[in-house]
Structure 1
């Protein structure tokens, strides 16, 4: 009889879905039965689920309307093991309730420092009685939002209640403990030998261009603006920044297009099974993280996109990135369009050498950041529960 793992996702329309689907892929390789359950607080899924992965989603609302779908989610969490993704009320909170009543082992995965989005340890909540009343009872009251930083702070204080914790950066390890589980890649699926770069460029309308690729959703801390400023400095008409997917959160993509539309080519979201062909079209994968709290706590999944596909990876000296690449990529100081421009120029001037470095990056990815490495870590962790 197979063991079932229920992955509990705080918001399928948020970035946590990507990590949840990756964990699901890893667990499937260990022959566990997998189901992802959770809420959607947006109009569309943030990421397309991998082929064959079961998804159960309830529409999310503000409190108190959220309690009704939350009861349905509780019933759907029927795995032998519960795996909550992110320490949020809508994933870890609801999983803790299920753990207490069903007596099931509970794992918690953390791939971000959630409080970093609100200023980290600097964030405090000391309302006056009048403000507290407003925050609870007004129509658009702040405390009716499930992701309010007060609730996130409470959830982070309960991390030790999980039977095991997985994290993906040294920053999170130092802050919360847990077992290191990298943001890996299926290196058999992401295998450059299976794809022709020129054919991929032709398929996606990129022929005749030198392609810098950012295979994800731009956000201010991800530094895409710095690459676009670097392209302004270089003024080389055949250079393009290809953005894959885009952000569902706000109009940030539109603002980038308004200012730098001449450099940007946007490709739509695609299933993980199609991503290798898309990344194959890149000459260089760019991961230009800025140095802020959110970025320091992250393992950018775009790194292993580029590494697995043997692409030259251009990134910044932020968080774990230098250690992840370990001299198999190109690094500059964060927030410096001038340094990015200089490095982009150098990469294309010595592209054969850059591609050799990309091949070494793939070898490193296969060894340390593959789903098989992740499977070995999770297998041992679950065996010890």
Structure 2
């Protein structure tokens, strides 16, 4: 059997946070003594800035058709791995992988870490245009089908999953829909190690000293439930409680809307590189992951969970998707979209913070056992060597 020496990871958009899944998979693959190359397209302004400079990345600018077709032809000969690992069923990743397979017969692993079509209405979405509309969508300079991210292409590629030689997913929802092996979102538990950081020193460093800190380390979106935490803080009405949002939303002005309505509770911190994030999370008393219950969130494995777990923080989240199974008995759970329950749990945690911190240590142990890079690698090994 041919020895696998290199795997090529194809990423649809190297400018978005979605690249972090590729980074985690790459680190896991490296522990199996297999070289990794990351290739893809940049549809935003620049390469995702928070990515650690650990892997060389070959990238081309993302653009609409017909220019995008030329870029696909340019990237195909650069794919040198024995196996192609496509991140997401998108034209710019899985579509490219299928073209490469036609010419090289190299096997494909498809990773699905979101139900992409859910952002467009899920199974209810259909494209039933007239011939005239199809012509407009293709031929006009701003025609809808010139966009490689059009949901029609996503639907096609989800139906093409049968042509992947293996599928990996990270939640049971996605496994039930697409099959495949669950590879959870891992965490570099050596980097995210609470023994290396001092919480009060971190709070001083980031201007948070003197406050009780609830931390949301990510980009707020309505379905992520940040508003529910802010409504809970309204109910508690304690000036020493602050919700720290790290990074903020690059998508729209949702941050500003939250600030205008609940600015008295919010402290905004900028984006930080991955190697700085453990020091930032160390400043938290509680990590909050208040997901609402939507088709999108049921398919997700929020990385914020393992941020808090790995740093031995009390994690307060909601009963949505796989979150209860991920936390086990080591976190605090409430119903989604329920500010009253959130308020009650926040007060209970701070009433007995020592007990909550003990539960946080249990969360750290669970994270090392089930969600470390090494645990990811152990699950990936059987997928890779079956090919």
What TM-score, normalized by structure 1, do the two folds share?
A: 0.97
Partner of 1:229: 231
Partner of 1:213: 215
Partner of 2:23: 21
Q: CA deviation at 1:192?
A: 0.7
User: Any residues of structure 2 matched to 1:227-306 within 5 Å, and which?
Assistant: 227-306=229-308
Write the distance in 2 (CA, Å) between the matches of 1:44 and 1:228. Answer: 32
Please, which moves more after superposition, 254-263 or 89-98? 254-263
Partner of 1:374: 376
Q: CA deviation at 1:333?
A: 0.6
- Alignment partner of 1:60 is 2:62: yes
- Alignment partner of 1:334 is 2:336: yes
SS of residue in 1 equivalent to 2:67:
coil
Write the distance in 1 (CA, Å) between the matches of 2:93 and 2:227. Answer: 32
User: Any residues of structure 2 matched to 1:5-44 within 5 Å, and which?
Assistant: 5-44=7-46
Change (3 A) 1:255 1:44: farther
SS of residue in 2 equivalent to 1:186:
coil
Partner of 1:45: 47
Please, which moves more after superposition, 55-64 or 126-135? 126-135
Write the distance in 2 (CA, Å) between the matches of 1:52 and 1:296. Answer: 31
SS of residue in 2 equivalent to 1:306:
helix
- Alignment partner of 1:160 is 2:159: no
**Match 1:194 to one of 174, 181, 196:** 196
Query: How far does the alpha carbon of each residue in 1:105-139 deviate from its partner, in whole angstroms, 9 at most, with x for none?
Result: 21111110101111111111111223222222233
Residue pair 2:215, 2:284 contacting (<8 A) in 1 also: yes
SS of residue in 2 equivalent to 1:109:
strand
Write the distance in 1 (CA, Å) between the matches of 2:50 and 2:104. Answer: 31
Write the distance in 1 (CA, Å) between the matches of 2:335 and 2:353. Answer: 21
Q: CA deviation at 1:12?
A: 1.2
Residue pair 2:308, 2:315 contacting (<8 A) in 1 also: yes
CA root-mean-square deviation:
1.4
Partner of 1:147: 149
Q: CA deviation at 1:75?
A: 2.2
- Alignment partner of 1:89 is 2:91: yes
Write the distance in 2 (CA, Å) between the matches of 1:73 and 1:259. Answer: 46
Please, which moves more after superposition, 184-193 or 282-291? 184-193
Query: How far does the alpha carbon of each residue in 1:260-301 deviate from its partner, in whole angstroms, 9 at most, with x for none?
Result: 222222222222222111111110000000000000000111
Q: CA deviation at 1:31?
A: 2.2
User: Any residues of structure 2 matched to 1:164-179 within 5 Å, and which?
Assistant: 164-179=166-181
Query: How far does the alpha carbon of each residue in 1:25-60 deviate from its partner, in whole angstroms, 9 at most, with x for none?
Result: 111222222221111111133452223211122111
SS of residue in 2 equivalent to 1:328:
coil
Please, which moves more after superposition, 96-105 or 284-293? 96-105
Residue pair 1:245, 1:269 contacting (<8 A) in 2 also: yes
SS of residue in 2 equivalent to 1:185:
coil
What TM-score, normalized by structure 2, do the two folds share?
A: 0.96
Please, which moves more after superposition, 172-181 or 9-18? 9-18
Residue pair 2:7, 2:84 contacting (<8 A) in 1 also: yes
Write the distance in 2 (CA, Å) between the matches of 1:76 and 1:270. Answer: 31
Write the distance in 2 (CA, Å) between the matches of 1:64 and 1:251. Answer: 32
Partner of 1:73: 75
Residue pair 2:287, 2:316 contacting (<8 A) in 1 also: yes
Residue pair 1:136, 1:142 contacting (<8 A) in 2 also: yes
Change (3 A) 1:246 1:56: farther
Residue pair 1:210, 1:239 contacting (<8 A) in 2 also: yes
Query: How far does the alpha carbon of each residue in 1:68-107 deviate from its partner, in whole angstroms, 9 at most, with x for none?
Result: 2222221221112211100100100001111121221211
Write the distance in 2 (CA, Å) between the matches of 1:65 and 1:184. Answer: 36
SS of residue in 2 equivalent to 1:158:
helix
